[in-house]
Amino acid sequence: MDQVRTLGKQLSNWGRWGAEDERGTLNFITPEVVKRAAGLVRRGQVFSLGLSFGADGPQIGQGGRVNPLHLMTAVDQRLPGEYPDGFRYADDVMVLPLQCATQWDSLAHVHYDGQLYNGFPAATTTSAGAARNGIDKVGPGIASRGVLLDMARAAGVARLQPGTAVQPADLEAAARAQGVRVERGDVLLVRTGHLSVFKSDGDRVGYMRRMPGLGMACAAWLHAREVAAVASDTNSVEVIPFEDPTIPLPFHLLCLRDLGLTLGEMFDLDALADDCAADGVWEFFFSAPPLKITGGIGSPLNPLAIK
Amino acid sequence: MDQVRTLGKQLSNWGRWGAEDERGTLNFITPEVVKRAAGLVRRGQVFSLGLSFGADGPQIGQGGRVNPLHLMTAVDQRLPGEYPDGFRYADDVMVLPLQCATQWDSLAHVHYDGQLYNGFPAATTTSAGAARNGIDKVGPGIASRGVLLDMARAAGVARLQPGTAVQPADLEAAARAQGVRVERGDVLLVRTGHLSVFKSDGDRVGYMRRMPGLGMACAAWLHAREVAAVASDTNSVEVIPFEDPTIPLPFHLLCLRDLGLTLGEMFDLDALADDCAADGVWEFFFSAPPLKITGGIGSPLNPLAIK
Amino acid sequence: MDQVRTLGKQLSNWGRWGAEDERGTLNFITPEVVKRAAGLVRRGQVFSLGLSFGADGPQIGQGGRVNPLHLMTAVDQRLPGEYPDGFRYADDVMVLPLQCATQWDSLAHVHYDGQLYNGFPAATTTSAGAARNGIDKVGPGIASRGVLLDMARAAGVARLQPGTAVQPADLEAAARAQGVRVERGDVLLVRTGHLSVFKSDGDRVGYMRRMPGLGMACAAWLHAREVAAVASDTNSVEVIPFEDPTIPLPFHLLCLRDLGLTLGEMFDLDALADDCAADGVWEFFFSAPPLKITGGIGSPLNPLAIK
Amino acid sequence: MDQVRTLGKQLSNWGRWGAEDERGTLNFITPEVVKRAAGLVRRGQVFSLGLSFGADGPQIGQGGRVNPLHLMTAVDQRLPGEYPDGFRYADDVMVLPLQCATQWDSLAHVHYDGQLYNGFPAATTTSAGAARNGIDKVGPGIASRGVLLDMARAAGVARLQPGTAVQPADLEAAARAQGVRVERGDVLLVRTGHLSVFKSDGDRVGYMRRMPGLGMACAAWLHAREVAAVASDTNSVEVIPFEDPTIPLPFHLLCLRDLGLTLGEMFDLDALADDCAADGVWEFFFSAPPLKITGGIGSPLNPLAIK
């Protein structure tokens, strides 16, 4: 853990946007960045990057995360009162772990040494939710320039092997090969192919237990490029099993707690990647606002990429 | 109800986009429409139109709709296993009626005479959810040109009186006064001021039981203009009490079932309206994808308007 | 259905305990009956007849019934405030279909022709719950004499074949062979062996889709004996597939709606049956109060038999 | 806390019933005890001691505990398939904190110094529930002799003042005045009148925040008498505010963790107390099995007293 502590101090953004800041690197998304990002819409084609929320999701119950429970509370129902026959309605309720499918992790999701991003005490999160750094603090959504790096395609494989740690040099090489630059305020989407395999084999345990992903060293790379947020097609963005088996989820700790960098998980990047490979354009307008869940640790969503 | 049946037949879009279509007027949003909409981003300013999801929401338990229940399932939690002290995480679950705050109604939400939009049998909705016209059928999100008509401002009041039925002529007048035209493929946002009052007085019963809104005749107006979707700052978009006390929710029936026009409810339009009034620009890029809830009747969301 | 209507009229207990009665045949349980039942406790041995409530339950999601979702909302949690280290607690929440495992059906569970037991309109059940005949109307619990009829043992098999309809003559024969009489105010427990098979093979679909159980004619037999309630080791007490494939759940309709006779489902009778077979005593004190769920259609429980 | 640690060691039942025991003082309830308890049923009168589970419960959301959410998942619903008109059903789901109304605390509910009752590591409770000492380990229910001590009546008041710590001498005096002895294997019910006040004034905050209850010294008294379980009409059995403001819930810690003594909370003892006062008989048969919730920290229930 001392390695994380040392690196965390080097990469820290605490105080960078003021003592009360709860948005971290999302502050890199300025109106100017948004405006330029909108200019990337050339064909008007919209890609949904969200998984379905339903019983066939990827969850295996680990840590209490189950697939969503969808309950119909009205089916072919009349209104109460004396109305002539005619009007009928349906209504429904959902019970869902907020990180059960495509989702953003808030900056309150993980921590170490008793402090969250920007030094807020970990004890600000209670059974009432996150008083600090919750997903409701993201502000007016997450809309920016998106850049996709397709690591599987770059490696010429359907999927990076589970357990493969992507290194900064790999990101550099993929960007170079694709002819795209990662810039300040970007949302970086990293495709490993892991979700494609799950979509075809339906092996939940295979999808959730081991996965390719960013190695710990990528935190510094993201910090240097002033990326606003990172999302991937796996459940953790980072590699599992961990690079150092004694340090769990080091990339989470560094990004969420030290950089204040929001992470997106289980983004479905397949159709978008196919399109980018076809037209050679790996940048696009990206719009992915979380639900404004009061004190929420994460939020389900349906992210859009528009080219 | 015969009035609804007659009008419904006149305004019907059944078959217009094929016998299997489940998206209705969202089909008006072509890539060309999206591309032009993106061109409306001039300053890069993002407005979130979503309410918070939490215990302080507007619900009063009517018809089983309650405010969301947010449950922390992990607080300051260690990972299972033999890890050195350090890593801690938080996790959460939400129980929410899918229409408890800012939301889209799917085309499966209401019906009459045993049929949903495009003639699908009402019995396709069961306790397993909506097999037809569910919110998961919206396709790659809802992103288009948005136009705001501020009916309260047009009338020079903080809020239209609850019970006020907005008529087509009122919409025309507001558009003219604002200098904006509603066009094919637009998402029309109608501000009544009702939510502003709730945000300041916190009177849930006042907000949920009576409201200003579109009158039944507006369905024909929307049909003629080929609007893609309509959203408002109330719980029903349409006026309550109903114009004809024997016909409940006629505008819902016509839009969702006959036109196949998606409705958005409890959108917070106040900050956006202030900005539009200030710069005189009432059109913008609008991005509001529902969650892809399998068989969902509605979906919570956080809509964005970008100017 | 006319067969059910005719039989229902013959067996009707509507009005028998007054126009406002919501307890039906539970009225047969008088203090005198309870007192004598307590006298059956000879050894002080307690048998729990309840299944576990957890992820390994029998549900397959049919009609929205899933196995319960158990969520830990606090684990190793400190109290908020300035306490010295020491006190920690755990807390939890459950999401459960009220009929997901061992349960009572209330008299509001099924109906036909728009009326519930005792003539209350079916429309008294709304999305707010059952205003009439709900499980909260059972009064001070269900405690009485219990009698077990072990139909599998009587037939010399581990389980009656799924689809076998138990007839009144079978009940008579089993009672005679066991040397026990079913009397006014009794709770009758009928063991088919179906649950024993599920406990050993874990085949949920096999357990939930087809089952042995009481035939329609048993309703008259129970009526004649003035039984207070009936429970079995299957999901429906009655036989599935139905005796007449055009009439679904006729025994439910007759018992719950016409007789006002409460049904208990998925009772685990195996250990009790073994004990009764060993000592030849098939009667006992039975205590099985439902939770007082306001407006509840059913209630989970943990029934006890005490010998 | 050192006071708790010292006392805890003195009163410890760890190892008393073997290294694997998870039932604690419920082991005092032998078949002989049950048999004699059944002999206390003289009139056959049944008292339900359970609160209702519904929106009008006592919870105020503290620590995430809310009143139960009751969702109708079917109302006046047809079966899927081609059945003649007739059969209709209703079905429901409940979302409930397991300690939201009348409930048992399992021995996994609180702990200190990293160990639960009988020395099991606190880490045996995870987000998957309690692997040790959960409510599912109670065995075949809780049925025994019940004894009611009515402390409010003994003091000649409607309710002991919130904040009043009941001492062993008070229990002794009440027992003497009522002419009853607390014996090995008994379930002791302690009435303070606090719930009566809530039932009449509906003041949830008043009910949940401050309450009369057992003082820390009562743990030794219960230990000496070899009581099997203790329940009261408050949310904590013990007094709040705490006797020593630096030690939260000391009675919980001693009973649940050191003695292994199960606690029952929010039992409605009013009607039973009136009856006991009328006939002078303060002992009865008591039956109160928890639901067998796998890994459950607590369980809702509907306890019965039978005289």
Using a 10 angstrom Cβ sphere, with 0-12 exposed, 13-18 middle and 19 or more buried, the burial of residue A17 is: middle
pLDDT at D228: 98
3-state secondary structure of B248: coil
With beta carbons under 8 A apart, name residues in chain B contacting A37: 44
Mean of pLDDT over chain B: 96
Residue D144's contacts (CB-CB under 8 Å, 6 or more residues apart) are D29, D33, D34, D37, D185, D186, D187, D228, D229, D286
pLDDT at C53: 97
Residue D72's contacts (CB-CB under 8 Å, 6 or more residues apart) are A73, A74, B64, C125, C126, C127, C128, C129, C297, D90, D91, D92
Backbone angles phi, psi at D254, to 5 degrees: -65, -50
Residue B46, strand partner residues: B306
With beta carbons under 8 A apart, name residues in chain C contacting D96: 93-94
Verify whether the Cβ–Cβ distance A73 to D72 is below 8 Å: yes
Query: By the CB < 8 Å criterion, does C85 face chain B?
Result: no
Distance CA B193, CA B216 (A): 20
Verify whether the Cβ–Cβ distance C73 to A127 is below 8 Å: yes
Residue B77's contacts (CB-CB under 8 Å, 6 or more residues apart) are B88, B89, B90, B91, C75, C76, D127
Query: By the CB < 8 Å criterion, does C269 face chain D?
Result: no
Distance from CA of B230 to the nearest CA of C (A): 28
Backbone angles phi, psi at C73, to 5 degrees: -100, -5
Place of tokens 């000649």: D156
Residue C37's contacts (CB-CB under 8 Å, 6 or more residues apart) are C143, C144, C145, C146, C285, C286, D44
Distance from CA of B90 to the nearest CA of C (A): 10
Q: Residues 203..222 of A with a Cβ closer than 8 Å to D: which?
A: none
Distance CA A295, CA B54 (A): 8
With beta carbons under 8 A apart, name residues in chain C contacting A55: 61
Q: Which regions of chain C are under pLDDT 70?
A: none
Residue-wise pLDDT for C56-76, tens only, equals 999 998 888 999 999 999 998
> pLDDT confidence of B61, banded at 50, 70, 90?
confident
pLDDT at B22 over 80: yes
Residue C209's contacts (CB-CB under 8 Å, 6 or more residues apart) are C240
Q: Nearest by CB to B70, which of A70, A86, A296? A: A296
- Angle subtended by helix axes B168-178 and B218-225, to nearest 10: 50
Query: Is beta strand A229-232 parallel, antiparallel or unpaired with respect to A262-265?
Result: parallel
pLDDT at B127: 86
Write the single-letter amino acid at D36: R
Q: Which two tokens stand for residue D94?
A: 């409940």
Place of tokens 């049946």: B5
pLDDT at D171: 98
Query: Is beta strand A187-191 parallel, antiparallel or unpaired with respect to A143-150?
Result: parallel
b/e burial code for range A103-123 (CB count within 10 A of at least 16 → b): bbbbbbbbbbeebbbbebebe
Distance CA A288, CA A302 (A): 7
Q: What is the DSSP string of C156-198?
A: TSSSPPTT-EE-HHHHHHHHHHHT----TTPEEEEE-SHHHHH
Task: List C-alpha distances in Å: C21 to C137, C138, C227, C289, D118.
Answer: 9, 10, 17, 18, 49
3-state secondary structure of A26: helix
Query: By the CB < 8 Å criterion, does A71 face chain C?
Result: yes
Among B211, B263, C80, B21, residue whose Cα is nearest residue A129:
C80
| Mean pLDDT, rounded, for A281-289 | 98
ipTM, 2 dp: 0.96
pLDDT at A88 over 90: yes
Query: By the CB < 8 Å criterion, does B92 face chain D?
Result: no
Distance from CA of B96 to the nearest CA of D (A): 11
Task: List C-alpha distances in Å: C147 to A220, B276, C18, D128.
Answer: 73, 76, 28, 38
Verify whether the Cβ–Cβ distance B74 to C72 is below 8 Å: yes
Distance CA D58, CA D67 (A): 7
pLDDT at C206: 97
Among D262, D183, D186, D137, residue whose Cα is nearest residue D29:
D186
Give the gyration radius of chain D's Cα atoms: 20
Query: By the CB < 8 Å criterion, does B75 face chain D?
Result: no
Q: Nearest by CB to D75, which of A64, A77, A127? A: A77
pLDDT at A64: 83
pLDDT at A141: 83
Q: Nearest by CB to D55, which of B61, B91, B95? A: B61
- pTM for the model stands at 0.93
Task: List C-alpha distances in Å: A301 to A97, A105, B42, B114.
Answer: 12, 11, 26, 33
pLDDT at A78: 85
Phi-psi region at B132: left, alpha or beta (left = phi > 0; alpha = psi -120 to 50): beta
Q: Over pLDDT 70: what percentage of chain D?
A: 100
Task: List C-alpha distances in Å: C73 to A153, B73, B90, C220, D256.
Answer: 42, 4, 11, 49, 19
Q: Which chain B residue is nearest to residue C95, measuring alpha carbons?
A: B95
Longest dimension (CA), chain A: 72
Residue-wise pLDDT for B113-168, tens only, equals 999 999 999 999 988 899 999 999 998 889 999 999 999 999 999 999 999 999 99
3-state secondary structure of A46: strand
3-state secondary structure of B298: strand
> pLDDT confidence of A5, banded at 50, 70, 90?
very high
Cβ of C196: how many Cβ atoms within 10 Å?
18
Residue-wise pLDDT for B267-291, tens only, equals 999 999 999 999 999 999 999 999 9
Using a 10 angstrom Cβ sphere, with 0-12 exposed, 13-18 middle and 19 or more buried, the burial of residue D278 is: exposed
Query: By the CB < 8 Å criterion, does B44 face chain C?
Result: no
Query: By the CB < 8 Å criterion, does C127 face chain A?
Result: yes
> pLDDT confidence of D61, banded at 50, 70, 90?
confident
pLDDT at D256 over 90: yes
Distance from CA of B93 to the nearest CA of D (A): 12
Query: By the CB < 8 Å criterion, does D92 face chain B?
Result: no
pLDDT at B81 over 80: no
Mean of pLDDT over chain D: 96
Distance from CA of D69 to the nearest CA of A (A): 11
Give the gyration radius of chain C's Cα atoms: 20
Query: By the CB < 8 Å criterion, does D66 face chain B?
Result: yes
Query: By the CB < 8 Å criterion, does C296 face chain D?
Result: yes
Among A185, A109, A106, A116, residue whose Cα is nearest residue A138:
A106
Write the single-letter amino acid at C49: L
Phi-psi region at A256: left, alpha or beta (left = phi > 0; alpha = psi -120 to 50): alpha
Q: Nearest by CB to A109, which of B89, B125, B128? A: B89
pLDDT at A79: 83
Among A104, A150, A110, A112, residue whose Cα is nearest residue A130:
A110
